[in-house]
Amino acid sequence: MEEPKTIYLKDYKPAEFIVDRVDLTFDIKDNQTKVTSILNIHKNFDIADKNTSLVFDKGDFEISSVIANGMLLLPEEYESGGGYFKLARTPDIFDLEIISILKPEENTSLEGLYKSGDIFCTQCEAQGFRKITPFPDRPDIMAVYSCTIIADKTQYPVLLSNGNLVDSGDLDNNRHFVRWEDPFKKPSYLFALVAGDLEHIHDQFTTKSGRNVDLKIYSERENIDKCYHAMKSLKQAMEWDEKRFGLEYDLDLYQIVAINDFNAGAMENKGLNIFNSKYVLANPETATDEDFLNIQGVIGHEYFHNWTGNRVTLKNWFQLSLKEGLTVFRDQEFSSDLNSRGVKRISCVRNLRGSQFPEDAGPMTHPVRPDSYIKMDNFYTMTVYEKGSELIRMIHQLIGEKKFRKAIDLYFEKFDGMAVTIEDFIGVMEEAGGLDLNQFKLWYFQSGTPTVKVERSYNPDLKQLAITFEQHIAPDRNQSKKKPLHIPVKFAIIDNKGNDITPESKSLLELTSGRQTFVFGNIPENSLPSLFRQFSAPVKIKTDFTNEELAFLMANDPDEFNRWDAAQTLFVNELKRIITAIQADKELSVSPNLIKAFKKALLNQHTDHAFLAKALSLPMETEIKNHFDLVDVHAIHRGRLFLKQQIAKQLKQHFMDLIDYCSKSDPLSLSHGAMADRSLKNLSLSYLGCLKETDTTQLVLRHYATAKNMTDEIAAFKILSEIHPDIKQTAVKNFYSKWQHDKLVLDKWFAVQAGSSLPNTLNIVKSLIKHPDFSIKNPNKVRSLIYMFAMQNHINFHQKNGDGYRFIADQIIALDKINHQIAARLSSCFNQMKRYDNARKIIIKKELERILCVPTLSKNVYEIVSRALE
Ligand code: ARG
Ligand code: ZN
């Protein structure tokens, strides 16, 4: 295989030909869609001259005719193939009409125009528009689009595209047409089309300036009653963006379509969002509390893109975080304002530490603004999204909400309708924030997670507390020498009663050099610093707190995030001790102080139950492994189970009481209190379930049988799937017979089985691949079964004989023939290989080399696998 080409930011050049208008016609027939594209083009004389030839991006499809300025070109007058469409000579200003023949029914990549079930739909981000028609498929080409769709009226009664409906009517042979016009200039990646027999729900929103917006959410007929939560979330998002950012919607129509086959979560196409049905459909019987919150978050995310992404877009794909980091920040703020801020922050940080930190320490490490890529699709990463959002959060922290809002206003004042860069964004933050972000910028350009080591020294005579911070970033493939970063540390010193004794005005420390000491006077003995409150910077924090101090912080730190974090550090310390004992073949024990701290938290009736459920959850095996340089798969599994069982055993009655206490709320209510009660109840049940005693197993079975909502049902099912193969199998059968008609619930059914730590799981996963409800063409199914096994089932994926690795490599190879993006995602499960022992490393290496030998391997998988082998 020829080595794929790397694209570099430093090679960026403005386009030589600009497209101002795009008029598309889709003539949809069985097995063939004819696309007519009429483009108004002018040469960009800033960089082109009269001899510059036109080169457009073009996918692998047939062109049936080309007309330039009304003249039909002969096939030898243009070149088509190898990813390009080329015209050697063109006038300076001209119209180009190209007719292309597509076969969406055969398109399994789910990129460009494809079919999901009986529905035609598109996904153009990042570079899918070129699979529809030859085009300068880059985000800095912004044009006005119109789109006419022609199809059979019975099979495809609903025909949608971006913008406003301007015409429609009947044609011969039971066919009809619809014409859409989008008045806003947009890049090609925001184009969308949907055609199908869809049902919809309708609502309205009046913006603060009085525009009446029609809101429509479409789904397959059988799911239409599951769209109301999404609609409610959309209205919440519209209202929130007006209140918090002063941003109003700009069209008269906002449409969302739920699709079953979708590579990502959702897509912000102008006026016509296309969603993975997982982020639209919900009712309490079929969706968990987490699903409900995720839907709210993703609906918000795509809506917020209308300004951050669509109105102001990207100059090139290297700037992806300009829209994604900022929009993730906005959706996190939305969720925090509408639900519990502290609990939301904990989930985000857990996600960041659990997935982004490892990514940044592995072969795929890249700056938030990458310098190069082979396939852009591989850079829709935790780093671009989640770390990108953390960078915005730090700027917000540094300049404060008021100035941040002013800066965002300025951003739109300056750049509305334009394609810009991260530097442009930082520029307005500096201008409106009145500060110098020169050093801060490094966060965007340097990869890797900084480690910040904190040391304290107290002088009792002077009553002085000195805190020394040392920051360090390990060199990696991107930079061999790292410069110190500008790190905001939100902090306070708390006395031995848990009160802040430093003033709020001095609550932000700013680290700017490798090592810095801050001295605080008038500090009583036994005071403690509370550091990085609300996780004020995306760093690994190494403190010198004793377990007693951590227990104190866990109970008393006024900062909720830090109470949770202290509990997690306590757990990790305890787990490390237990795991070391396992490795040394010593007798195992749990320290009484940990149980005491746990019990104290458990009995504190005043705590928010959602927070308590987070604070008392043990880190998962996949999280625990991040605390070791060399991962011992079995010791981690045994150690975690031992700790969990000991806690459960010693606090059994308390968990029982808590379950009763938390069972009182309405099982169908989605109030914060009801959801919080369920999370604490189900956490207690999972502690008890892991004891595998007759009475505790009976209790879980009873909860499973009487569950009135999916949150409780799936929680009990998961616990049962860990107890015993027979118990699991009975639940598996029962769950299937109840839910076999519901695709999204079946995804959960596959996921629970793929996640079970019981020994025979790999064989079960292998047989589930052949299950009639599984399809390797459906990304949700692949994520539930295969990806779940590889990424979450630590003990079974990493089994010593390498069978887990071989199985996943086989799946990557099979999947790559169908869907490059999803195959590449799955390939990243080997990115952590350097943390495992030599025997495992050798097997992984062999499997990666086997993948690399596939002659038809996609660029997507090549990029991930070749980096892993570097
Ligand atoms: N822009 C979309 C979002 O963040 C995601 C698009 C994903 N595209 C991809 N090639 N993975 O909402
Ligand atoms: Zn996004």
In the reported structure, the alpha carbon of residue 863 is separated from the centroid of ligand 1 by a whole-number distance in angstroms of 19
In the reported structure, the alpha carbon of residue 325 is separated from the centroid of ligand 2 by a whole-number distance in angstroms of 8
Q: Which tens digit of pLDDT belongs to each residue from 745-784?
A: 999 999 999 999 999 999 999 999 999 999 999 999 999 9
Minimum-distance ligand 1 atom for the alpha carbon of 327:
4
Q: How confident is the model at residue 42 (pLDDT cuts 50, 70, 90)?
A: very high
Tell me the one-letter amino acid at 60: D
Judge if pTM exceeds 0.85: yes
For residue 408, CA distances in Å to 236, 326, 426, 431, 681 come to: 21, 10, 11, 11, 42
pLDDT of residue 606: 87
DSSP assignment string, 552-568: HHHHH-SSHHHHHHHHH
Minimum-distance ligand 1 atom for the alpha carbon of 324:
4
Task: For residues 281 and 780, give the distance between their C-alpha atoms in angstroms, rounded to a whole number.
Answer: 14
In the reported structure, the alpha carbon of residue 427 is separated from the centroid of ligand 2 by a whole-number distance in angstroms of 22
- Backbone Cα Rg of the chain: 28
- Find the DSSP H helices in 195-281: 228-245
Domain 7-197 homologous superfamily, CATH: tricorn interacting facor f3 domain (2.60.40.1730)
Minimum-distance ligand 1 atom for the alpha carbon of 376:
10
Q: How confident is the model at residue 103 (pLDDT cuts 50, 70, 90)?
A: very high
Q: Which tens digit of pLDDT belongs to each residue from 645-694?
A: 999 999 999 999 999 999 999 999 999 999 999 999 999 999 999 999 99
Catalytic annotation on 302?
yes
Q: Which tens digit of pLDDT belongs to each residue from 626-643?
A: 999 999 999 999 999 999
Q: Whose C-alpha lies nearest to ligand 1, atom 7?
A: 264
Torsion angle of alpha carbons 40, 421, 59, 122, nearest 10°?
A: -90
Task: For residues 218 and 226, give the distance between their C-alpha atoms in angstroms, rounded to a whole number.
Answer: 10
| Residue among 377, 380, 858 whose CB has most ligand 1 atoms within 8 A, to mutate | 380
Q: What is the mean pLDDT of residues 699-726?
A: 98
Q: Answer yes or no: is pLDDT of 592 > 80.
A: yes
**pLDDT exceeding 90 applies to what percent of the chain?**
99
**Cβ(111) to ligand 1 under 6 A?**
no
Q: Answer yes or no: is pLDDT of 185 > 90.
A: yes
Q: Answer yes or no: is pLDDT of 1 > 70.
A: no
**Cβ(865) to ligand 1 under 6 A?**
no
Q: What is the mean pLDDT of residues 39-67?
A: 97
Bridge partners (DSSP) listed for residue 456: 467
- Using DSSP's 3-state secondary structure scheme, residue 210 falls into coil
Query: Which of the ligands is closest to the CA of residue 304?
Result: 2
DSSP assignment string, 391-417: HHHHHHHHHHHHHHHHHHHHHHHHHTT
Instruction: Work out the mean pLDDT of the chain and round it to a whole number.
Output: 98
- Find the DSSP H helices in 80-174: none
Q: Which tens digit of pLDDT belongs to each residue from 8-17?
A: 999 999 999 9
In the reported structure, the alpha carbon of residue 308 is separated from the centroid of ligand 2 by a whole-number distance in angstroms of 9
Token match 């044009």: residue? Answer: 143
Q: What is the mean pLDDT of residues 92-103?
A: 98
Q: Quick check: 681 and 663 in contact, CB under 8 A?
A: yes
Largest CA distance in the chain: 95
pLDDT of residue 605: 81
DSSP assignment string, 47-74: T--TTPPEEEE--S-EEEEEEETTEEPP
In the reported structure, the alpha carbon of residue 380 is separated from the centroid of ligand 1 by a whole-number distance in angstroms of 7
For residue 829, CA distances in Å to 364, 406, 431, 786 come to: 11, 42, 42, 11
**Cβ(822) to ligand 1 under 6 A?**
no
Q: Whose C-alpha lies nearest to ligand 1, atom 10?
A: 377
In the reported structure, the alpha carbon of residue 304 is separated from the centroid of ligand 2 by a whole-number distance in angstroms of 9
Q: What is the mean pLDDT of residues 433-438?
A: 98
| Residue among 124, 130, 267, 274 whose CB has most ligand 1 atoms within 8 A, to mutate | 267
Q: How many CB atoms lie within 10 A of CB 814?
A: 13
Q: Answer yes or no: is pLDDT of 3 > 90.
A: no
Q: Answer yes or no: is pLDDT of 576 > 90.
A: yes
DSSP assignment string, 505-532: GG-EEEE-SSEEEEEE-S--TT-EEE-S
Residue 719: closest CA among 651, 794, 644, 783? 644
User: Domain spanning 560-869 has what CATH number?
Assistant: 1.25.50.10
Angle between helices 652-662 and 592-603 (to 10 degrees): 20
pLDDT of residue 2: 76
∠463-465-467 over CA atoms, to 5°? 170
Q: Outline where DSSP puts E strands in 618-724.
A: none
Task: For residues 825 and 816, give the distance between their C-alpha atoms in angstroms, rounded to a whole number.
Answer: 10
Query: Which of the ligands is closest to the CA of residue 305?
Result: 2
Q: Which tens digit of pLDDT belongs to each residue from 304-334?
A: 999 999 999 999 999 999 999 999 999 999 9
Task: For residues 531 and 562, give the distance between their C-alpha atoms in angstroms, rounded to a whole number.
Answer: 8
Give residue limits of the domains in the chain.
7-197, 451-538, 560-869
Task: For residues 210 and 226, give the distance between their C-alpha atoms in angstroms, rounded to a whole number.
Answer: 29
**Cβ(380) to ligand 1 under 6 A?**
yes
pLDDT of residue 376: 98
Q: For residues 129-168, b (16+ Cβ closer than 10 Å) or e, as one string?
A: bbbbbbbbbbbbbbbbbbbbbbbbeeebebbbbbbeeeee
- Find the DSSP H helices in 530-617: 547-556, 560-583, 592-603, 609-615
Of these residues, 111, 302, 621, 623, which one is catalytic?
302
DSSP state of 135: B
Residues 6+ apart with CB under 8 A from 115: 104, 105, 107, 121
∠339-344-350 over CA atoms, to 5°? 165
Minimum-distance ligand 1 atom for the alpha carbon of 263:
11
**Cβ(241) to ligand 1 under 6 A?**
no
Task: For residues 631 and 844, give the distance between their C-alpha atoms in angstroms, rounded to a whole number.
Answer: 15
The answer to whether 7-197 and 451-538 have equal CATH topology is yes
pLDDT of residue 317: 99
Tell me the one-letter amino acid at 294: N
Bridge partners (DSSP) listed for residue 161: 193
- Using DSSP's 3-state secondary structure scheme, residue 368 falls into coil
Q: Which tens digit of pLDDT belongs to each residue from 139-152?
A: 999 999 999 999 99
The phi and psi torsions of 368 (rounded to 5 degrees) equal: -55, -35
Give the rounded distance of the alpha carbon of 851 from its chain centre: 26
Task: For residues 262 and 271, give the distance between their C-alpha atoms in angstroms, rounded to a whole number.
Answer: 18
Q: Which overall architecture, per CATH, does domain 451-538 show? A: Sandwich (2.60)
Q: Quick check: 739 and 746 in contact, CB under 8 A?
A: yes
pLDDT of residue 105: 98
Q: Provide the residues around ligand 2 (an ion) whose CB is within 5 A.
A: 324, 327
For residue 38, CA distances in Å to 48, 97, 124 come to: 22, 4, 18
Residue 145: closest CA among 124, 114, 169, 175? 124
In the reported structure, the alpha carbon of residue 263 is separated from the centroid of ligand 1 by a whole-number distance in angstroms of 8
Give the rounded distance of the alpha carbon of 413 from its chain centre: 29
Q: For residues 49-76, b (16+ Cβ closer than 10 Å) or e, as one string?
A: eeebebbbbbbebebeebebeeeeeeee
Task: For residues 171 and 168, give the distance between their C-alpha atoms in angstroms, rounded to a whole number.
Answer: 10
**Cβ(377) to ligand 1 under 6 A?**
yes
Bridge-based pairing of strands 7-8 and 372-373 is antiparallel
Q: What is the mean pLDDT of residues 32-42?
A: 98
Q: Whose C-alpha lies nearest to ligand 1, atom 1?
A: 267
